[in-house]
Structure 1
Amino acid sequence: MDHLPLAAAASAASAPAAGPQQGRVLDAYKKALATAASVAAYAVLARSMARELLPDELRAAARWGAAFVRARLGAAEKERHTVVIRRQLDGGYNENQLFEAARAYLATKIDPRALRRLSLARSRCKEADGSSSWTTLLCLEPGDSTTDVFDGVEFRWTSMETGGGDDGKRGGKGGGDRGHRAPRESLELSFDAEHTDTALERYIPFVMATAEQLQRRERVLRIFMNEVRSWHGFNHHHPATFDTIAMDPDLKKSIVDDLDRFLKRKEYYRRIGKAWKRGYLLHGPPGTGKSSLVAAMANYLRFNLYDLDLSEVRVNAALQRLLISMPNKSILVIEDIDCCFDAKPREGHNTAAALEQAVDFDYLSDSDDDIGGAPPKAHRAGDLQQQKLTLSGLLNFIDGLWSTSGEERVIVFTTNYKDRLDAALLRPGRMDMHIYMGYCGWEAFKTLAHNYFLAFKTLAHNYFLIGDHLLFPEIQELISGVEATPAEVSEMLLRSEDVDAALRGLVEFLRERTRRRARQEAEIKNELVAEEGNAA
């Protein structure tokens, strides 16, 4: 047992030696803290001095260099590729559309709270019809970066600015600054080398498509009318949308889905050998919302409207010229198509002389010049029957040889009487979707009630927020048994901003319509009984 006292003695002997060692560690720790505090203080001071003394360009370059070093250190084992997208091409004579598209796309990805400096830019968008609109964008400052994730791949965008300054050629008699070089702007897209195919084949096209959609939403829509051989446009501010239009919800959804598929199928249409267009035939009684549906389509697609009045068109050549001059991404509308082509000529007007008086041959002079001058007047009168406006000339543009003169177009025909249409218009495949716009049903009424009373902002109750009212059951029963158009129901709802008063007026209107229908049915029944009695 002698080893126990020996161990205790050894422990006691080593205890005094531990004290000085701990003291040295503590002193070193204190010195490290003091050094760190000093470095931090110098860093804060240096940063403040840099803000005051260094120009913005130099500080931007320093930030870019630090970001570059961090990116290199963070991906030391991975090779990085960079795509440079310059703002100007051909020595500054042409704008790079990809640069503008990328900048518009990045404006939706930038978090203003994550960056100390941001710039605002006002961009002018040129439309296909020659008009233009302005939009404000949030942009990266030179040297700043932001990241974006696409299909699980991280892409880094960096704004760059190079060049600028004086090239020594400034001067001249006017004292101008023609020698001053504008800075060259660019965007750098960097990513891991293994994702190069994803970047070039999928991500950049995605950026372009997204920017195009953003431009559509920002554009000021226009509606065009035809006068003889040309289009004249006006700003179009119709408020109809698929949220406000009164129609069956399932039918509404099917239309929206069809439009979405159409926009995404450019390559699909090309692959199957069809023109990239879509045709809709809207039919139903007057006042059922056909024109409102056309406006809702335009607002949803952000396409301009071209309202074609065929009474202003006298020959197929003029119709062809009008339709060819329509730009892509547009909607052609022909209302009341059943009234546009009359197959029965008026008596006494089927002679060459009458046709010659009805049509001004100078109207065709532009196209005649292209083939060496117009034919003699006598021959023109004889050929007018083949030259005048015909249904076949219109159909040739819809799905004939001229249907490929443009792409991404929507064609809409409207009619109140589908049974009066020429069979050629109803041929399968000619109009892709036939849409019946019927009388106001229960679901359509709820949409109207919500729109009208919510717009008034005078809700005394929460009826239309929860979809209930004491008169709703009676309205649902009455509206299912009468033929009332959405226009008629809207008129009744507009008569009062008070919810209860407006609904009571609508109930009385529907009751009267029900009584009138009962009287009509009784009269028809009595007539049938009388006819049977006379026959007996």
Structure 2
Amino acid sequence: MSSSDSSSAESCLATVKMIFTTVASVAATAMLARSIVVDYLPGEMTIIIEEFEGFVHNEVFEAAKTYLATKISPFNKTIEVSKHEKENNYNVMLERDEEVMDTFNGVKFRWVFHCCYVKSKKFHNPRDLNSMLRSEVRSFKLNLHKKFKDVALKSYLPFMVKRAKLMKQEMKTLKIFTLDPDNMFQTYGDAWTSVILDHPSTFKTLAMDLDVKRNVIEDLDQFIQRKNFYKKLGKAWKRGYLLYGPPGTGKSSLIATITNYLNFDIYDLELTAVKNNSELRRLLISTANRSILVVEDIDCSIELKDRIIDEPPRESDETNDPRYNKVTLSGLLNFIDGLWLSCGDERIIIFTTNYKEKLDAALMRPERMDMHIHMSYYTPSTFKALALNYRDVEEHQLFNKIEESIEATEVSPAEVAEQLMKTDTVDKILEGLMEFLNFKKTKIEQDKVKKEEQDLEIKSTITKGAYYVDEQLMRNDRVDKVLEGLVELSKAKKMDNDQDKVKYEDASNINL
């Protein structure tokens, strides 16, 4: 190779090196410029967090409302404060258009509470709860730099939701919710109205059979610890309890006790106020997690007929059919364990009844009513606990006699408690309780004898009636004459019974 050729090759190589160096320098400059733009030039984004997501409350909105109350600073000009007379803490919330700043792992986040008033009430979008007759739509706006979007979504917001749950549990004041008839057709959340639940009942003070009480406590403890277990089985995290027994045996007190024990709110559902199955589902999904839904006197609330015949067939086009305008057994069963119940977690459903035998078997099976709790008449084993709670008495010479009388008498805890609440000395109170139990026992025996006499009288009347009927049937061959004779006989017997009743009442008045 000549010297000229070698020189030309070196020249070309130098040119190529210069080109690559220039390209690398330009690329580096571009990357540096991009970094400068990202880091120093405006790149803010906004995350909108509305109060409702479709049909349900937005968990992130509720968490932000609780969490941001702790971030209010002297720079905030307006805040909202509320407190119920039975609450220990003040409820603080941002007023509309107020801002707060928060820092998480060195990243700054700016929050703004936004309210938008809706003038028209005619617009209705069934998929958007915010459009349904609301006068105000509320949301939070979270402003941040674009490059911290993943930090916000994957770390900051989950941290805030978890922190808010702990704060709510620490500050929670138990409430009982009931249906608000004036707002039944407003938004889902507005259908319920609440008051503070300040019931003092606990498992320690509850007059209840000790073995039954222990079983209930163990079942509740197991339920609240089995979130992963229910998820593994593919079942909704809920539990059903049926409380049954005579009036005054403590069903309502047990519900209040469970509420205090779990720190769950109560939703008291009156089925007679619900128009149809669709409205029932709507009310269900508006209840909160960690709550107890109560339907008292389920056998008296609505007429629950056979679920096969209580609804029109699916192919029916009669939308005005009256069978659609009521709550049915089929709708109630779907309400208890259907797909709609999976819209929430950690829920308890409690039904109460005085007459368990009146309920449909489909309503009482496991996975609907998982545990049946018999609230029975008073037993000797629970008397000492009640005496200790009401009168601070552990032992007394009358205890054995009282327990024997309780065992021989059908008496409710409410009746015993009424006697123990009388204002007198302990001796007088227990003596009065003995007299009450003896009177109750005597009355039960008298009622039993009276019922037996009535049964004998009814049998005798039926026998005599059958004789008179036979006699009438034998008097004439014509059917019309026989029937007329039976009518006349019935009138005469009724007149005789009325006269005997008057004579009996007159004699009773003379004896008095």
Q: What is the TM-score when the length of structure 2 is the normalising length?
A: 0.54
Equivalent residue, structure 2, for 1:437: 375
Equivalent residue, structure 2, for 1:291: 252
Question: Is 1:301 aligned with 2:301?
Answer: no
Question: Is 1:477 aligned with 2:404?
Answer: yes
Are the equivalent residues in 1 in contact too, given 2:272–2:302 (CA < 8 A)?
no
Are the equivalent residues in 2 in contact too, given 1:217–1:302 (CA < 8 A)?
no
Q: How does 1:228-239 map to 2 (within 5 A)?
A: 228=181, 229=184, 230-239=191-200
Q: Distance in 1 between matches of 2:457 and 2:195?
A: 58
Equivalent residue, structure 2, for 1:449: 387
Deviation of 1:312 (Å)? 1.1
Match of 1:134 among 85, 89, 98: 89
Equivalent residue, structure 1, for 2:327: 389
Q: How does 1:486-525 map to 2 (within 5 A)?
A: 486-524=413-451
Are the equivalent residues in 2 in contact too, given 1:227–1:312 (CA < 8 A)?
no
Equivalent residue, structure 1, for 2:169: 216
Identity of aligned residues (%): 44
Q: How does 1:97-496 map to 2 (within 5 A)?
A: 134=89, 216=169, 218-228=171-181, 229=184, 230-343=191-304, 380-381=319-320, 383-454=321-392, 464=393, 467-496=394-423
Are the equivalent residues in 1 in contact too, given 2:284–2:341 (CA < 8 A)?
no
Task: Name stretches of at least 5 consecutive residues in structure 2 with no aligned partner.
Answer: 1-45, 50-59, 71-79, 92-103, 109-158, 185-190, 464-512
Equivalent residue, structure 2, for 1:197: none
Count of residue pairs the alignment pairs up: 317
Are the equivalent residues in 2 in contact too, given 1:341–1:391 (CA < 8 A)?
no
Deviation of 1:444 (Å)? 2.2
Are the equivalent residues in 1 in contact too, given 2:304–2:328 (CA < 8 A)?
no
Q: Distance in 2 between matches of 1:163 and 1:410?
A: 41
Secondary structure at the counterpart of residue 235 of structure 2: coil
Q: Distance in 2 between matches of 1:214 and 1:482?
A: 50
Q: Distance in 1 between matches of 2:237 and 2:408?
A: 42
Q: Cα RMSD between the aligned structures?
A: 4.5
Deviation of 1:216 (Å)? 3.3
Are the equivalent residues in 1 in contact too, given 2:240–2:367 (CA < 8 A)?
no
Q: How does 1:87-106 map to 2 (within 5 A)?
A: none
Q: Distance in 1 between matches of 2:269 and 2:420?
A: 33
Are the equivalent residues in 1 in contact too, given 2:299–2:358 (CA < 8 A)?
yes
Q: What is the TM-score when the length of structure 1 is the normalising length?
A: 0.52
Q: Which amino acid aligns with 1:222?
A: K
Are the equivalent residues in 1 in contact too, given 2:305–2:329 (CA < 8 A)?
no
Deviation of 1:528 (Å)? 7.0
Are the equivalent residues in 2 in contact too, given 1:310–1:340 (CA < 8 A)?
yes
Secondary structure at the counterpart of residue 326 of structure 1: coil
Are the equivalent residues in 2 in contact too, given 1:334–1:414 (CA < 8 A)?
yes
Task: Name stretches of at least 5 consecutive residues in structure 1 with no aligned partner.
Answer: 1-89, 105-123, 127-131, 137-159, 165-204, 353-377, 455-463
Are the equivalent residues in 2 in contact too, given 1:247–1:444 (CA < 8 A)?
yes
Are the equivalent residues in 1 in contact too, given 2:299–2:355 (CA < 8 A)?
yes
Q: Which amino acid aligns with 2:228?
A: E
Q: Distance in 2 between matches of 1:344 and 1:400?
A: 19
Q: Which amino acid aligns with 1:498?
A: T
Task: Provide, for residues 146-203 of structure 1, a one-character-per-residue CA deviation record: whole Å limited to 9, x for no partner.
Answer: xxxxxxxxxxxxxx99999xxxxxxxxxxxxxxxxxxxxxxxxxxxxxxxxxxxxxxx
Q: Distance in 1 between matches of 2:227 and 2:262?
A: 15
Structure-2 change in CA distance of 1:526 and 1:289 (3 Å): same
Q: Distance in 2 between matches of 1:338 and 1:532?
A: 32
Task: Provide, for residues 107-166 of structure 1, a one-character-per-residue CA deviation record: whole Å limited to 9, x for no partner.
Answer: xxxxxxxxxxxxxxxxx999xxxxx97389xxxxxxxxxxxxxxxxxxxxxxx99999xx
Equivalent residue, structure 1, for 2:13: none
